Amino acid sequence: MSAAERPVGPVELYRLRLPLRTPYRLSFATLDDFELFLARVWLGGDSGVGESVPLAVYSTETAEDVWSALRESVRAIAGRPAGEALATLERSRERRPFATAPLMTALETALAPPVPSEDLAVPLLGTVLSHDEDRSPEEIEALLGAGYRTLKVKVGFDVAADVRWVARVQELVDGRARIRVDANQGYSFEAAREFVGCVEPEGIEVFEQPFDPGEWDAMARLAALSPLPLMLDESIATAADLERLIELGCAGTVKFKLAKAGGLAALERLIARARDAGLQVVLGNGVAGDVGNLHELVVAARAIATAGEMNGFLKPSRRLLTNPYEVVDGSARLPRGYAAELDWERVEAHAVDRLDVALAATAS
């Protein structure tokens, strides 16, 4: 029996709530915890894991939508050959990526474990969390001292204050790192035009996602006048969105996330298409856990040159792995042969709901 013919099951689904070390401030919300959905899928003696953390700006899927769809999907695939199960999940992937990603990625990694064949070091981005004039110098120095050479700052609140804040960060960084500026959809066109006209471009790697995802005309107008390089994230939910970006030429950089792509194979197709079109690619999810970020790290190590944003695993107060991968000199390190081992007691401790579906009960 080939791997694709092996029946799917058992399957375990977990709905977790992971408190964060520090509240994570975005233009549209402040997160105190991650609501993370985790799947473990068995194929005979092999298993894989996948996860997602739904966030309103990335998808219309709510946490309740994701949990409901996961329970529906697991009953549809349990007992089916793995190849058929992947095809079943693919049919709903673009429509509900965050509900598809945990099961799709668990199946993909059960079939092809993401075990590095050599030592990997993936440079990560460091996020400046503080907007406090007194605390930010210390935080930025700590990030630079830890080896981060790309820093992210959040804007999208008040233009005048944001301009002053970016200028202050530029002053403190003093050319020692690149700066990504993320508005998280927080601006109108008028606000974004004012922002790009007032910020000194020196040291700015990209200005990310100033508008709501559907504001393509505004993005094209901004691209025509912005001295800052532009990047899209939330606007790119499907392959069709990527094609629209390529057609309009309204950003030179695009960011992808595994959970938003809905699976590893889909993610790698998006990356390949973007690179073929001459776009710079950024990969990684700052709102994710150990499992999702690990899978992104393995992809980034072979396909991405920019600093990764898969730093969500550093935000929860406790890691979910018994053998957590580490960050050294600003890079995530995966030793050759590394295989993540989840602490299932810790998973259980953070679970607010779960579902187990046995193979025997569902096989046809």
The pLDDT tens digits for 75-100 are 999 999 999 999 999 999 999 999 99
Checking if the pLDDT of 248 tops 90, the result is yes
- Using pLDDT thresholds of 50, 70 and 90, give the confidence band for residue 29: confident
Tell me the average pLDDT across 255-264: 97
Q: Across all residues in the chain, what is the average pLDDT? A: 95
Question: With 60 as the cut, is the pLDDT of residue 258 above it?
Answer: yes
| pLDDT at 360 > cutoff 60 | no
Residue 364 has pLDDT above 70, yes or no: no
> Torsions phi, psi of 82, nearest 5?
-55, -40
- E strands of the chain, at which residues? 11-25, 30-43, 46-52, 120-123, 126-127, 150-154, 178-182, 204-208, 230-232, 253-256, 280-283, 326-328, 331-334, 351-357
The CATH superfamily label for domain 3-112+343-362 reads: Enolase-like, N-terminal domain (3.30.390.10)
**pLDDT for residue 188 is more than 90:** yes
- Say yes or no to pLDDT of 361 above 90: no
Q: Is the pLDDT of residue 61 over 90?
A: yes
Which of 78, 73, 74, 75 has its CA nearest to residue 92?
A: 73
For the chain, what percent of residues have pLDDT higher than 70?
A: 98
- Exposed, middle or buried, 175 (CB in 10 Å: 0-12/13-18/19+)? exposed
Domain ranges of the chain: 3-112+343-362, 120-334
Structure tokens at 278: 């001459």
Is the Cα torsion angle 43, 4, 92, 258 positive or negative in sign?
positive
pLDDT value of residue 135: 73
pLDDT reported for residue 261: 97
Give which of 198, 196, 186 is closest to 228, Cα–Cα. Answer: 196
pLDDT band at 132 (very low <50, low <70, confident <90, very high): confident
Q: How much is the average pLDDT of 284-291?
A: 96
pLDDT, position 25: 81
Class of domain 120-334: alpha beta
Q: Could you tell me which residues come within 8 angstroms of residue 240 by beta carbon, excluding any fewer than 6 positions away?
A: none
For residue 356, the SS3 value is strand
- Asked if residue 267 has pLDDT above 60, the reply is yes
Give the mean pLDDT of 114-126. Answer: 96
Mean pLDDT over 167-181 rounds to 97
Mean per-residue pLDDT for 27-54?
A: 94
Q: What is the pLDDT of residue 27?
A: 67
Residue 226 has φ and ψ, to the nearest 5°, of: -80, 125
Confidence of residue 347 (pLDDT cuts 50, 70, 90): very high
Looking at the chain, the whole-number percentage of residues with pLDDT higher than 90 is 90
To which H or E segment does residue 306 belong? none
Average pLDDT, stretch 283-296?
A: 97
Instruction: Decide if pLDDT at 163 tops 50.
Output: yes
Q: Residue 281: which residues within 8 A CB-CB, separation 6 or more?
A: 253, 254, 255, 256, 271, 274, 275, 303, 304, 306
Quick one: average pLDDT of 289-316? 97
Q: Which residues pair with 132 in a beta bridge?
A: none
